[in-house]
Structure 1
Amino acid sequence: MTAIQPTKPEALLGFDNLLITPHLAGWSPEATAAQLEVFMANVTGHFSGSGAVVPV
């Protein structure tokens, strides 16, 4: 799966002291594991009748 990144900020590209990188923090193993943990807690809460941990 490829993440869609915003367009480059053309006005900033001429700076020598600028480093532009994609936002990838949400794809770290820790972030993925945390997302799965919250998802499972929500599913468990919903089906047990106690409610979602993080309601939307």
Structure 2
Amino acid sequence: MTQPKKTVSDSVRRVAITPDSLVASQLLLNHQGKLWIEHAGERYLLRRTSNNRLILTK
């Protein structure tokens, strides 16, 4: 049998978010430098480029 894929809800990390919050990108991006974000029913990909910049694409 194959294991079901883990979702964010399977391993939730909770943090207090304030107007001055700062989160290191290493905490958000996976080992491939990617993070899928769902917003208003649309999916976006945040990824780190080879030049160590961040790009958000739809």
Normalised by the length of structure 2, the TM-score is 0.20
Larger Rg computed on CA atoms: 1
Larger % of strand: which?
A: 2
| Higher relative helix content | 1
Under a length normalisation based on structure 1, what TM-score does the superposition of the two structures give? 0.20
